[in-house]
A and B are shown apart, each in its own frame.
Chain A
Amino acid sequence: MRAWRAAGLTVPAAAAAAVGLLAFAAPAGRAAPGDDLLLGAELYVAQCAACHGEDGTGVEDRGPPLTEEGPAAVDFVLRTGRMPMPHPRMQPRRGPPRFTEAQIQSLVEYAGAFGDGPAIPDVDVTGADLASGARLYQLNCAACHVASGAGAAIGGGREAPDLTQSSPTEIGEAIRIGPGAMPVFDSFTDEDIDDVAAYILHLKQQETTAPRDFGGAGPVAEGLAAWLLGLIPLVALTRWIGTPHEGRDAPVEPAEPTAPPTPGEGPPS
């Protein structure tokens, strides 16, 4: 709020917010391109300009410029709910998208025009080569995103997220733009992206990050499970088995002769 007032944008911001809310309430129909641009501009001013600057040139200490980005980048961060971000210094986290489909499209058209980065890739997983995708994944992605797709911390407080929640388009976008700490994988052809996205979809279908697989976290989680699900119950069982029925300190029978009782006699009572 303070930022907007400082920039003298309070009234237009309120108006834009109202428009935005109306857009939310309005039925999502196919609007003409010109309409998108207008809506996008208003949304941008309301939601993004405070950190990324009016022309996408960035604001110091708040947000980087968008002049190197493009439609894919904007679509990616909006669709995965990473933007708008509550606080500039955080690492962007995946979450539910804050805009509707129509709003996202309009913002993509508007803010995506600031830079000449990659366009939204057209990712088609039908008929993709799963084997090629697996190989590409293992060679390029597993290092950060882990063999099961579960994601991992990669140093410096950064995180490679869980891929089993991503759609094929989002995966393609990430490969093209290299969001956050992720590098750009320019050597991937469009076919490669189809294959990798198909493989990640396969991982999702295999539920590799399910509780049954301990979240796909590998040997550490498996070791913990061995203790919690295996050894601790076994120790509890030994407590049951090992403790005599009458308790350990019950008085001992008069010392048995070392000859056994003759067969047929029960234990001494």
Chain B
Amino acid sequence: MSRTGPNVRAYRAAIISFVVAIAGGVVAALGYGTDLGEDWLGIGLAASLIGIGFGLVCWAKYLDFDEHAVEEREPLVVAPPAKQELHAELRGGLEPMGRRKLLVGLLGGSFVSMFIGFVGPIGSLGPKPRGERDRTSWREGIRVVTADGEPIPVTTRTFDQLVTVWPEGHVGEDDAQVVLLRLPPEVLTERTVRNGTVEGWVAYSKICTHAGCSVGLFGIDNREPETLRQLVCPCHQSVFDPADAARPVGGPATRSLPQLPLAVDRDGFLVAAGPFDRIVGPIAWDET
């Protein structure tokens, strides 16, 4: 077996690798300590690590340590007599215990009771659900405001615009986030209008009924025979029709977004005409 060719190459490769590794450490130190830039810290460290690894493998594989060795396996399964010895020893402990049935039963009961006792503090991890999920801060008469607290005049002219809004005084409350849209009134279905719209303004809970993400994409497509408007959730691509009470028209969502009924107050600003009629967002087992 010739060891000259690959050996010499491997030897040289190992030398170069270790030299690169040494240089890498220096570069890393410079990258950290001077203005060279943090990138060089990382590059130096990487060079250092790869150099050491490469050199070690060259050494191990080509130079001194390659081999074929053989090791015999010891059998894992033993002969029946040895097995029976173990069985007998185990039984030797368990059988006498088994004869004292009352003690065994009481011991079992003690463990069960102890566990039940310990379960209590786990309940302290969180409050008991008390129906808070049924309610949000939206009430009749509360003004609709943007994230900066600005109310929305009903006469704001532009159609097909999307704003994220909250109840006045409760900006940022997660379950009260609402997406407000103004659509041309003629495209709204009867059902939508019945639920509470004002001059084309519609509002829906922004919490997707599939898995709770904020339904932030509003897309309009003018190319079709009729304009297509869609509310799309970016998480799993559920699609809702804002012109038809936000009913789900695509993706995995099964329930429409709850609609917030709207009205106008005396000063011409948009207000809620009442709370949501359903739980917002995804629902639990015993909710509908």
Contacts and interface: CB of A to CB of B under 8 A. Distances in A.
B99 interface: no
A155 B70 contact: no
A156 interface: yes
Contacts of B162: 183, 185
Interface stretch (B108-116, B197-205, B231-239): B231-239
B189 interface: no
Interface string B185-229: 000000000000000000000000000001011111111000010
B160 A178 contact: yes
A91 B70 CA distance: 68
Interface hub of A91, A154, A250 (most chain B Cβ within 10 A): A154
Contacts, number: 95
A256 to B, nearest CB: 5
Contacts of B68: 244, 250, 252-253
B70 A244 contact: no
Interface stretch (A2-10, A42-50, A261-269): A261-269
A178 B159 CA distance: 10
B67 A181 contact: no
Interface in A215-269: 240-241, 244-246, 250, 252-253, 255-256, 258, 266-269
A154 B239 CA distance: 10
Interface stretch (B22-30, B57-65, B83-91, B260-268): B57-65
Interface string A65-97: 000000000000000000000000101000000
A107 to B, nearest CB: 21
A126 interface: no
A139 B71 contact: no
A13 to B, nearest CB: 26
A138 to B, nearest CB: 10
Nearest to B222: A64
Given A143-B234, A240-B57, A245-B62, A185 B161 contact: yes
B156 interface: yes
A245 B57 CA distance: 11
B239 A155 contact: yes
A89 B223 contact: yes
Interface SS majority for chain A: loop
B75 to A, nearest CB: 16
A268 to B, nearest CB: 7
A140 B230 CA distance: 16
A253 B67 contact: yes
B6 interface: yes
A130 interface: no
B259 interface: no
Interface in A169-217: 178, 180-187
A158 interface: yes
B61 A266 contact: no
A17 interface: no
27 contacts: A143-B216, A143-B217, A144-B216, A144-B219, A155-B217, A155-B219, A155-B230, A155-B232, A155-B237, A178-B160, A183-B218, A184-B159, A184-B160, A184-B161, A186-B158, A187-B150, A187-B161, A240-B57, A241-B61, A244-B61, A245-B61, A246-B66, A250-B68, A253-B68, A256-B70, A267-B66, A269-B1
Given A154-B217, A158-B221, A183-B160, 10 more contacts: A142-B216, A144-B216, A144-B217, A182-B220, A184-B160, A186-B156, A244-B66, A244-B68, A245-B6, A253-B68
